[in-house]
Structure 1
């Protein structure tokens, strides 16, 4: 099993996918205003401000992996920011500057190939970019090409059991696009 998994994980696409997912999230956050921060999001118990702070922390952790070769295991605190949109953007730009440097990354007592970590990060960043777009009223879908590539990688990077990180898959119509299938796979109801 280890041999099969490691062969499938060695993909040069992880870094490019992460960059594209960050671009999508940065585009999604453009419409967010301070008045929108209390809005509910597709993440059941989070408002938009909490989601932005979570995404900031996720981007920061990925940046730690790229610059330090390790990610701390202490729980992230959703420290309120004066401007969570700017905080998220700063973390995204910092990660973009270092994401090409992802090699092997230590997470607790485990090691992860940099491309696989980048792919996992891309899934999280893309789905939260979608969450932000829904909460802001923009209803922007995950770009089809990005969604299609992420769907192929989801079985490698979405943990089992899924909770608390992701919900169970949601059914979609057979003619659903890649973006809708990705969102549904990650436990969200596509808004069709």
Structure 2
């Protein structure tokens, strides 16, 4: 990721992609399996809600606590849409330059780019859980893959991410992004 990347636009595009996936969640489907082996769809949506809450907290308060947010109650897809709009509004209001994650300072653009990876990939997970073929848009994936390569370390494998999956050299950018993060087609 270069510092010339428009992280606000990247975040907006990732949210738009994920919103399309979340819109397809049928009622009564929260127990469906997901590509995230330990999570059912409802838990994945709860995790997405927590991720958006952390982004919002960083954008509006300049600090992200290390405690998870109180999970949303009720319609988790609706909660995701509401938080997504709040995050976009907070970015548009002009975030500061730095955010504290725990006690570690982080460039706000880096936080937004990492958030975009999280949101996009879990948006794909949601679509997959619902049986929808929603490839990650190529241009979005091409921008997110360098970010993912910068922030996913070997010690994250087996904990937060599975081992990378092999893809052919001519694979689409979305397939390369998903494969790097341990997801196969």
The question of a shared fold, defined as TM-score above 0.5 by the shorter chain, is answered with yes
Change in Cα spacing, 1:116 to 1:11, as seen in structure 2 (3 Å) is farther
Task: Tell me if 1:138 matches 2:137.
Answer: no
Alignment of 1:66-77 (within 5 A): 66-76=59-69
Change in Cα spacing, 1:49 to 1:91, as seen in structure 2 (3 Å) is same
Q: CA deviation at 1:174?
A: 2.0
Task: Tell me if 1:58 matches 2:33.
Answer: no
CA contact (8 A) 1:11 1:115 kept: no
Match of 2:76 in 1: 84
Cα distance between partner residues in 2 of 1:98 and 1:13: 15
Change in Cα spacing, 1:65 to 1:141, as seen in structure 2 (3 Å) is same
Match of 1:5 in 2: none
Q: CA deviation at 1:80?
A: 5.9
| Secondary structure, counterpart of 2:155 in structure 1 | coil
Q: CA deviation at 1:76?
A: 4.3
Offset from partner CA, 1:93-149 (integer Å, 9 cap, x none): 110111243320001111100111100000000000000010011120110000011
Q: CA deviation at 1:30?
A: 1.2
Q: Structure 1 residues 8-17 or 97-106, which shifts more?
A: 8-17
Match of 1:3 in 2: none
Task: Tell me if 1:48 matches 2:41.
Answer: yes
Q: CA deviation at 1:153?
A: 1.9
Match of 2:182 among 179, 183, 187: 187
Cα distance between partner residues in 2 of 1:156 and 1:185: 12
| Secondary structure, counterpart of 2:109 in structure 1 | helix
Match of 1:106 in 2: 100
CA contact (8 A) 2:53 2:69 kept: no
Alignment of 1:26-45 (within 5 A): 26-45=19-38
| Secondary structure, counterpart of 2:67 in structure 1 | coil
Cα distance between partner residues in 1 of 2:176 and 2:182: 10
Task: Tell me if 1:171 matches 2:180.
Answer: no
Figure out how many residues of one structure are paired with residues of the other and give that number.
Answer: 182
Match of 2:89 among 81, 86, 97: 97
